[in-house]
Structure 1
Amino acid sequence: MSHATARRRPAFAARFGAVSFIALAGAATAPGHAQTQPQAAQDAAAPQGIADIVVTAQRRAERLVDVPIAVTSIDGGKLADAGVNSVIGLAQTAPGLRLDYSGPYVQPTVRGVGSPLVGPGLNSNVAIYVDGFYVPNPLGSDFQLLSVSGIQILKGPQGTLFGRNATGGAILVNTLDPSFEPKLIARASYASFDKLNLSGYASTGLGDSLAMDVTAFYERGDGYIRNINTGKTVSHYDKWTVRPKLLFRPSEDVSITLAYQHSMVDDPSPFLTSAYDGLSSATIAAPGVAVPTGRRETGNDAPAVSTLNSDLVMLTGKFDLGFGTFTSYTQYRDDKSNLAGDYDSTAAPIMAPDWRVWDKTFTQEFNLSSAPGGPLTWVLGLYYYQNKNQYPGYNVSLFGSPKFEYFRSTSRTKSYAAFADMTWEAMDGLFLTGGLRYSIDKVRGSFLCSACGGLAGEGEETFKKLTPRVNVRYQLGASSNVYASYNKGYKAGFIPVSAFDTVPIKPEQIDAFEVGFKTADGPLRFDLSTFYYIYKNLQVAAYVNSAAVYRNAEKSEIYGLDGQLSYDVNEDFSLGLGATYTHAKYKQFGNAVDYVQNPATGLFDHPDVLVDGNVMPRSPKFTANINADYKIRFASGANIALNANFYHTTKFYFDSPKRFSQGAYELLNLRATYNTADERWAFSIFGNNVTDSAYRIQVLPGDFAIQQVYGEPASIGASITFKY
């Protein structure tokens, strides 16, 4: 970042804070009328009991206990109590889910199904949705969880209802809708590493049929990484988001919501790397240079840059037609990133790239779902997706040379899909579900490799796929079910432009079988499922000579057991427990790229090695979490709420040859909150990773170093919250 930018930061932050405060305060004091119930709660077909949870995992509102899918559902309050304020932290609350990085790109993995791909036009195979809208860009996937009403993590392929990039599962984030009653939530917190967080949410009615809300967020901090050559902390970051929503509800049968969001992230930490076990080419190419290896160290001599500017417009229309509800989702996204790093992780001038990523997306979806009740419920849908991803210039400096353009590329994708899903109560308590989705994906890619003598190429391919699902559910009682399901997941192929090739990479597909049991009996909620996946043509990548090498792993096998339990001991004490066992191995892969340091040059050679039978990357055998809430009440009406959230994972690998790993570790977050009797004020103290576990969140094997970045060390902080 330039000195000029640094000088502008305080003034900008002050202006942003002032504008946000005025907007929030103005919205909160505007007139309004009675608040309307959330649509999901209105539409839920089954009668609601104590602590019933309503989810939309099947594109229609249903009780969680009646949904024949393994789902982890977390409300916004639980997320805040657990200290989870961004997507990357969700793994601490949902066993079987991992969220790692490759640079600033987010790589989700669910039950061993994840995509080790980053690059031009590439998407994850765990889909992320916000308010029903797909988030395609992995660079924009680690967003802040602002004014969240709840999150649903769907485990297993969702190829029929949620599309081509839901091979492993889907993460559904739902935010608050504008209310007609005035509402204001303002929060300020300060924590270790000079982390200041300011956020606010305000909503109000603007008349009998119009309501609006505004969410605003600003965070800055110094981070925890220092450069071993200068001794200075170099991980300063700034983030801010503003999101207004406008709700028009002219009648009980019609609602139209328009939302706009602008986000800015300036956080270099994904590129502030150290060397895994000291593995850097500098140890031989530049003898005597200091090589960082610790979790709070970097040695970069080239700037680390990771910025994202994102604009998003979302239009949602819901129309009650009597026999069903018609919903339209229209989205436009424009994401721009500037990225730069040091690929040897030392002060030696060996390899330093910089590049930009421009990503534009338009989506349109139409859903028609049946009214609740009756023996047959259904949902029909049409979907259109258009994406243009550009790398307008990937530039490199090698061994101190001036920067030169290595390559540039453009990837375009158009996807069309139609789907139908129906559930029929064949007899009392027996429900049969069948669904189909037909997808057509047209992909195009072009590249120019200036460093390859002007090598250029352009290719295109069309992929077509029918993905079914079949489900049988039997209702044992009012709040207990058993189910068995078959689902087919699908991820389209692509043109590998960053490999300087136009031969398409094959699509992924997965056949998933699952049997499960769910019950919600008074204070007890328990889910248990066992799963078996046959995975074909998993798309994998390695990086050789600063270019990508893509391959398909022909066949993999995944099976395991997944369970969740929650129990309200009494009004003031509740416990939650979740655990997942996963066996994920390659059955037929053949040769994968390995990384072995050349003792003569220090660079890393890339021999092919046989990996059949190896554990798949980022697939720990066992993960678990425990959550406990306890409330101490006072005669005055005030209370102290105590929360503890514990997460455990066993060892896992970051690569197919099992060379680079992360050992077992635990994370413990604690929070204590004093709530005033009128519930207007809350004062909290909290600690994250209080046991100070050291754990890697990324390992990046490459030609010049095996780079790594660690998660945040132990931190403590305090916050104050005002509600109106």
Structure 2
Amino acid sequence: MKKAAFRTSASAIGIIGLVAFSSVPALAQASADTGAQAAEDTSNDEGLIIVTAQRRSEAQVDVPITITTLNTQQLETANVQQLTDIAKITPALRFDRQSQFVQPSIRGIGTGITTAGGGSNVGIYIDGFYSPNPAAANFSLMNVDSIQVLKGPQGTLFGRNTTGGAILLQTSEPSYEPNAQAKIRYGRFNQVQAQAYSTYGLSDRVAFDIEGLFAHGDAFQRNIATGERDRSYRNWSVRLGFKADITDTVSALLRYQHNEVRDPRSELTNTFVDPDLGATAATFAPPSSYTTAKNFYAPGADHRFFASNQDIVQLTIKADLGFADLASYTQYRQENNNASEDLDHISLTLFQLGLPVINKTWTQEFLLTSKPGTPLQWTAGLFYFKNTDRYITYIDNGVGLGGDRILLGGSAAPTYSYAAFLDATYEINPQFFVTAGLRYAHDAVKNAYWNERFSTARNYVDDVSGNRVTPRVVLRYKPSERSSIYASYTKGYKAAIIDVGGSCQNAPFICGNVKPETIDAYEVGFKYDTRAFSFDTSAYYYNYKNLQVSLFREATAQIVNAASSEIYGLEAALRYKVSEAFELSMGANYNHGRYKKFVNAPIYLRCPDVAGCGSGASFFISTGTTLRDVHMQRSPDFTGNIGALYKTDLAGGELALSGNLYYTSKIFLSPSGTQFPQKAYETLSLRAQWTDPSDKYTVALWGENVTNSRFATQVQYNNYGIGSTWSEPVTYGIEVGAKF
């Protein structure tokens, strides 16, 4: 095992080295500025922020959607390393976990569902490609130019499963001008991360790039049996790009990416303490078998893990047709995930669940966009999506002791979607604009099946299909070139589910067909943007129906339509460049997210207090209660952040001091919205970076969670026990970078 780990590390480090030095022959010709103007990556010549929220490049001030846009400088100064880190600089955005599954939510709209065909409520797009797998929703950021967080339903332009919004990442394309950059950081808990990027033009029409990343460290949690930090993580990835300008009007970009993750931290749970239920360990668990301390975990058979292998191939073809621009996005993703989690969260091995997930995704999208400069600006597209995610469940009780996995069950729900859409904005006069859009989609779940317990026999269920139309209408008024006022109506939906992972496998073995969620959203907003100052504010109201809710029964997650909700709120963000040396940014969101009526809400009760507990169960899920006007799951009333950046000359170079303070109010992590509370907390990120006079080398000191806030990053609830993982305590370290 140690030799294999060493070979993996050596291979990953070798890739980093290859990337770092692959452009050495060309460094003499390299441009001195390799994108040094990071603060203006997303701005045009007039200083206006440019976004692609309507599938075409436009000034953000002219886009009638609430958007948080993050450029490379903002990501760097806030110490953003992974996608989930952007929540601390994006009001109303959260990333929660359920074991290995990362679940984003925007303005209270998210999901706790982990099942075949389940999906997310927030669409993640990388370079225009949809990434639907929640087990792959958190990843290290590689050479990102910008991130746009679109808030509110995006059903017209981005389709199914974007009821909460969408996150758009744009990375750098291969450049004909050779350049390279690398950085390495070291931090508390032996955190090491090395990253390198290189690009080179083979001719004036062909260029390639390569990027590698390696990360390793220790989990902060200690084993209660030994008192040691005995679990570590090791992740690496490599990404290759090949770009060719085939003609003056046609270009192609082919990318391949491979990621490997070996990270048990999401599985190192301890026993959650609830104000009403107390310490939520198994009913008969002796005190020595569990811990409620945030920095410890109960080891059990010590076989908890999460591993993932991902291979992604993407082809982008762009063509100038004269009257419009055409883009084709072709993608294949294969993501093999494997996990083992302790459902009782104590050192006694009651139920260790193995959960491999095999995910394959094919997408094809054609996008046609109008040329700028005409009164009618439009976007039209066709979209095809196929996703097969096979879930397999095992009893892993004996694996840590040298035994084999015992097959428990499994399920699969192949999902298909075909869509066509058109969205257009017409300039009535220089001050008044009207936007109208419509998307037609046909969704289907075909050949779904579930496995009988302890058998590979497949029980196929009837197909489910449906058609959806999601319109969008906007009125916009421009008081000046730098400002905009809008009012919009949009509709979104989250696709139907066949509950092959839950109700199918439990008595009376009748599969539940889970209806689509639907949302009607109304928003008014004001935007103002200049080179030195920008300000956005909006007010919104959502009518949200048929929420898909996850209950945990007998080692399976059962999905039901249970609740309708009402959401309304206010949001504001500003950026002020006080001087060339000092810049401020802040954002805040007030969100009133409530279940209006939640029939048969899941309430967790201790087994000694109620009848009907199953064998070995410690908690009983009562569904006989109807809740009204209670908090939605994971929906804080208030989130906000304030950041600052100050630059000054030092030793011939430049010293940049930055910090970001994030705050969120209380949330409830239970599906009912009434249990498992997490109190309000704040986190503080700090960074001090010095850049040498040549602008090629940097040294930075950084600190994360400087307030040392301890908050639950997940609560895993089921019949056997209720566990939690917690935020890392304060971490700090050093980073060194170079670019050529």
TM-score w.r.t. length of structure 1 = 0.95
- Label 1:15 to 1:160 Cα distance change in 2 as closer, same or farther (>3 A): same
After TM superposition, give the deviation of residue 356 of structure 1 in Å: 1.1
Task: Find 1:482's aligned residue among 485, 494, 502.
Answer: 485
Question: 1:12-23 residue pairs with structure 2 within 5 A?
Answer: 12-23=8-19
Q: In the alignment, what sits opposite 2:317?
A: 317
Q: Does the Cα contact within 8 Å between 2:280 and 2:722 map onto a contact in 1?
A: no
1:700 lines up with 2:709 in the alignment: no
When structure 1 is superposed on structure 2, of 173-182 and 389-398 the one drifting more is 389-398
- Label 1:394 to 1:11 Cα distance change in 2 as closer, same or farther (>3 A): closer
Task: Find 2:735's aligned residue among 706, 715, 719.
Answer: 719
- Runs (4 or more) in structure 1 with deviation over 6 Å come to 31-38, 398-402, 452-455
Q: Does the Cα contact within 8 Å between 1:552 and 1:589 map onto a contact in 2?
A: no
Q: Does the Cα contact within 8 Å between 2:282 and 2:720 map onto a contact in 1?
A: no
After TM superposition, give the deviation of residue 16 of structure 1 in Å: 2.7
Structure 1 residue runs of 5 or longer lacking an equivalent are: none
Q: Does the Cα contact within 8 Å between 2:484 and 2:527 map onto a contact in 1?
A: yes
One-letter amino acid matched to 1:535: Y
- Label 1:23 to 1:666 Cα distance change in 2 as closer, same or farther (>3 A): closer
When structure 1 is superposed on structure 2, of 107-116 and 326-335 the one drifting more is 107-116
One-letter amino acid matched to 1:154: L
Q: Does the Cα contact within 8 Å between 1:360 and 1:388 map onto a contact in 2?
A: yes
Counterpart CA distance in 2 for 1:232 and 1:176 is 42
Counterpart CA distance in 1 for 2:415 and 2:713 is 30
Q: In the alignment, what sits opposite 1:340?
A: 340
Question: 1:218-617 residue pairs with structure 2 within 5 A?
Answer: 218-277=214-273, 283-302=282-301, 303-397=303-397, 403-444=405-446, 445-450=448-453, 456-499=459-502, 500=504, 501-599=510-608, 603-608=618-623, 609-617=625-633
Q: Does the Cα contact within 8 Å between 2:15 and 2:212 map onto a contact in 1?
A: no
After TM superposition, give the deviation of residue 27 of structure 1 in Å: 3.1
Counterpart CA distance in 1 for 2:191 and 2:94 is 25
Counterpart CA distance in 2 for 1:284 and 1:581 is 39
What CA deviation, in whole Å up to 9, does each residue of 1:486-512 have, x standing for no partner? 000111101111112433100011000
Counterpart CA distance in 1 for 2:317 and 2:34 is 17
- Label 1:458 to 1:95 Cα distance change in 2 as closer, same or farther (>3 A): same
One-letter amino acid matched to 2:588: A
SS of 2:84's equivalent in the other structure is helix
Counterpart CA distance in 2 for 1:368 and 1:691 is 48
Counterpart CA distance in 2 for 1:554 and 1:223 is 38
After TM superposition, give the deviation of residue 546 of structure 1 in Å: 1.2
- Label 1:35 to 1:507 Cα distance change in 2 as closer, same or farther (>3 A): farther
One-letter amino acid matched to 2:674: K
When structure 1 is superposed on structure 2, of 422-431 and 392-401 the one drifting more is 392-401
What CA deviation, in whole Å up to 9, does each residue of 1:396-426 have, x standing for no partner? 5499998532211121011100000000001
Q: Does the Cα contact within 8 Å between 1:578 and 1:624 map onto a contact in 2?
A: yes
Counterpart CA distance in 1 for 2:549 and 2:142 is 33
Counterpart CA distance in 1 for 2:185 and 2:269 is 28
After TM superposition, give the deviation of residue 549 of structure 1 in Å: 2.1
- Label 1:37 to 1:256 Cα distance change in 2 as closer, same or farther (>3 A): farther
SS of 1:341's equivalent in the other structure is strand
One-letter amino acid matched to 1:222: D
> What's the Cα RMSD here?
2.4
Counterpart CA distance in 1 for 2:31 and 2:330 is 28
Counterpart CA distance in 1 for 2:119 and 2:24 is 39
Q: In the alignment, what sits opposite 1:622?
A: 638
Task: Find 1:676's aligned residue among 692, 700, 710.
Answer: 692
Q: In the alignment, what sits opposite 2:612?
A: none
Q: Does the Cα contact within 8 Å between 2:717 and 2:723 map onto a contact in 1?
A: yes
Q: Does the Cα contact within 8 Å between 1:34 and 1:180 map onto a contact in 2?
A: no
SS of 1:450's equivalent in the other structure is coil
One-letter amino acid matched to 2:77: D
When structure 1 is superposed on structure 2, of 247-256 and 405-414 the one drifting more is 247-256
Counterpart CA distance in 2 for 1:151 and 1:260 is 21
After TM superposition, give the deviation of residue 36 of structure 1 in Å: 13
1:195 lines up with 2:191 in the alignment: yes
Q: In the alignment, what sits opposite 1:663?
A: 679
1:11 lines up with 2:7 in the alignment: yes
1:26 lines up with 2:42 in the alignment: no
Counterpart CA distance in 2 for 1:418 and 1:36 is 42
When structure 1 is superposed on structure 2, of 526-535 and 279-288 the one drifting more is 279-288
- Label 1:224 to 1:395 Cα distance change in 2 as closer, same or farther (>3 A): same
What CA deviation, in whole Å up to 9, does each residue of 1:549-598 have, x standing for no partner? 22213421000001000100000100001000000011122111111111
What CA deviation, in whole Å up to 9, does each residue of 1:648-693 have, x standing for no partner? 0000101214110110000000000111011010000010001110
Counterpart CA distance in 1 for 2:32 and 2:376 is 32
TM-score w.r.t. length of structure 2 = 0.93
Task: Find 1:217's aligned residue among 200, 213, 218.
Answer: 213
SS of 2:76's equivalent in the other structure is helix
- Label 1:612 to 1:129 Cα distance change in 2 as closer, same or farther (>3 A): same
Q: Does the Cα contact within 8 Å between 2:533 and 2:575 map onto a contact in 1?
A: yes
Structure 2 residue runs of 5 or longer lacking an equivalent are: 505-509, 610-615
What CA deviation, in whole Å up to 9, does each residue of 1:274-297 have, x standing for no partner? 111186675532334331112211
After TM superposition, give the deviation of residue 613 of structure 1 in Å: 1.2
Q: In the alignment, what sits opposite 1:686?
A: 702
When structure 1 is superposed on structure 2, of 466-475 and 298-307 the one drifting more is 298-307
Give the share of equivalent positions with the same residue, in percent.
38
After TM superposition, give the deviation of residue 223 of structure 1 in Å: 1.6
One-letter amino acid matched to 2:408: Y
One-letter amino acid matched to 2:662: Y
SS of 1:166's equivalent in the other structure is coil
- Label 1:335 to 1:403 Cα distance change in 2 as closer, same or farther (>3 A): closer
When structure 1 is superposed on structure 2, of 712-721 and 47-56 the one drifting more is 47-56
Q: Does the Cα contact within 8 Å between 2:239 and 2:257 map onto a contact in 1?
A: yes
